[in-house]
Amino acid sequence: MSKVSNDELVQKAVITTDAIASAGKLNPAQSEKFLDYVIDQTVLRNNARTIRFREESLEIDKIGIGRRVTFPKAEAQDPGLRRGITTSKVTLTPRTVITPFEISDEFREINLEGDAVENTVILLMARQVANDLEELFLFGDTIAPAILESDYRDGGDTAKYVKDSFLGLFNGWNRLADSGNVYDAAGANIGLSVFGSMLRALPTKFRRNRGDLRFFVSPDLAQLYYEKLSTRATALGDASAGGAGQRPFGIPIVEVPLMQFLPQVVQHVTLAGTTDVALRFAPINTIVVTPSTLGAAPTTPYLDTTDYVVNTTTGLIHRSGGGSAITDGQVVKVTYTANPQIILTHMANFIVGLGRDIRIEKDRDIYKGVNQYAITTKIATEFEESTALVKGKNIGKSV
């Protein structure tokens, strides 16, 4: 019997137009297949622990020891010491997301697939849902970065900014990793010394099973590493030209397609007088400064040198003198890109929470002549153990 592909599975059993009832809620089997499909489309497939839930919040129990439990034994004597286990919890608080879209009557009539094109469009939307969720899992930040309105919505302003409320839903792994072990490469380019320093920064108790560890990097940063290895006049150098050399110190490199070469960072800082404030990362590459109250209304950003002055090398920023539109003591939102970063952790340390109660609803707007769809689900993310990871920052941008 031939195997059914993921695409066929989704088309036949999950999100075809025939499967979408007016009530909209997928049955349990359809929900499971849809969730499988979403995960399979991302790098999370073999590198994350997926929890499926129906509750409003989910607590995951952690059990550990943490101290020596074995003692010298004297004949006929109680050692007088006892050890137990320590317990704690990881709490996932899900957020609801929706994917709305429309398919017009004219589009259905003029395309080659006819009415069947709706199934194709829904499948494409499901793939994009996977990409969107992976972006949120990676780069979510509750402060919410500034984004050009034209990048946020069709027909938006190409010079003014709005709050990216999608990435503001919760803190993703890149932000959560700031509370783990941090290694500052101080501008050193990618290489074995960087990987080795990150490995040494990981507590020894988490290094025992190196086969379970992963270096999560952007594709461009991985490419720089392969190019560096390929210059060696060795068998490894020759192999690296073909994409080999992906296990420094026995730990696989995982290229994360949506991981940015220059990761985006956002933070709120108070600019008082002309006193320098240090940003979390330095150097910085691009910068946008807006009011911290930035919302859905398109807003013109503050101007470099006119309203604020930033030292891109040191990451220091301060308010300009008398002509600044930033008032003395004002809190501003600073959205900038930092140098490349790497996350080293156990693959099961990434936790993804996906709600089982998925709704794919269909409606009809007879005046516009369109079929309307909406995919709604609940999501959450966390690390199981923040001390079991190392975030490498300030990595150089060259070979």
User: Residue ranges of the domains in the chain?
Assistant: 6-57+92-145+348-380, 264-337
Which residue from 335, 351, 374 is spatially nearest to 59, judged by alpha carbons? 351
Residue 194 has pLDDT above 50, yes or no: yes
pLDDT of residue 181 exceeding 70 = yes
CA distance 186 to 253: 21
CA angle, corner 94, sides to 44 and 129, nearest 5? 45
Tokens 């129906």, residue located:
54
Supply the mean pLDDT for the chain: 84
Contact present, 173 and 353 (Cβ < 8 Å): no
Spatial separation of the C-alpha atoms in residues 314 and 338, rounded to whole Å: 11
Span of 296-310, 325-339, 368-382 with lowest mean pLDDT: 368-382
For residue 222, the model assigns a pLDDT of 95
Report, as an integer, the average pLDDT of 12-16: 41
Entry field: residues in the chain: 399
Rounded Cα gap, residues 275 and 309, in angstroms: 10
The pair of three-digit structure tokens given for residue 170, joined into one six-digit string: 């919760």
Q: What is the mean pLDDT of residues 363-389?
A: 88
Give this prediction's pTM.
0.83
Which tens digit of pLDDT belongs to each residue from 125-143?
878 888 898 999 999 999 9
Q: Assess whether pLDDT exceeds 90 at residue 188.
A: yes
Q: What is the dihedral of CA 13, 122, 367, 365, to 10 degrees?
A: 50
pLDDT at position 261 is 97
Own/partner long-range contacts of 188-193 (Cβ < 8 Å, ≥24 apart) = 188/395, 188/396, 189/224, 189/228, 189/395, 189/396, 189/397, 189/398, 189/399, 190/221, 190/224, 190/225, 190/228, 190/340, 190/395, 190/396, 190/399, 191/225, 191/228, 192/248, 192/249
180 alpha carbon, distance to own chain's centre: 16
Average of pLDDT values for 269-286?
A: 97
Q: Which residues pair with 99 in a beta bridge?
A: 375
Confidence of residue 57 (pLDDT cuts 50, 70, 90): low
| 341 CA to centre of own chain | 13
From the list 258, 260, 262, 270, the residue with the least C-alpha distance to 287 is 262
pLDDT tens digits, residue range 295-311? 999 999 999 999 999 99
Q: What is the pLDDT of residue 236?
A: 56
With a cut of 90, say whether residue 237 has pLDDT above it.
no
Residue 150 has pLDDT above 70, yes or no: yes
262-272 b/e (C-beta count within 10 Å ≥ 16 → b): bbbbbbebebe
pLDDT at 56: 66
CATH architecture of 6-57+92-145+348-380: 2-Layer Sandwich (3.30)
The tokens describing 83, both together, are: 């050890």
pLDDT tens digits for range 71-94: 677 777 777 766 554 556 778 888
Half-sphere exposure of 60 (CA within 13 A, CB side): 21
- pLDDT tops 50 at residue 13: no
pLDDT at residue number 52: 82
pLDDT of residue 123: 75
pLDDT at position 23 over 50: no
Statement: residue 108 has pLDDT above 80: no
CB neighbours (10 Å) of residue 61?
A: 8
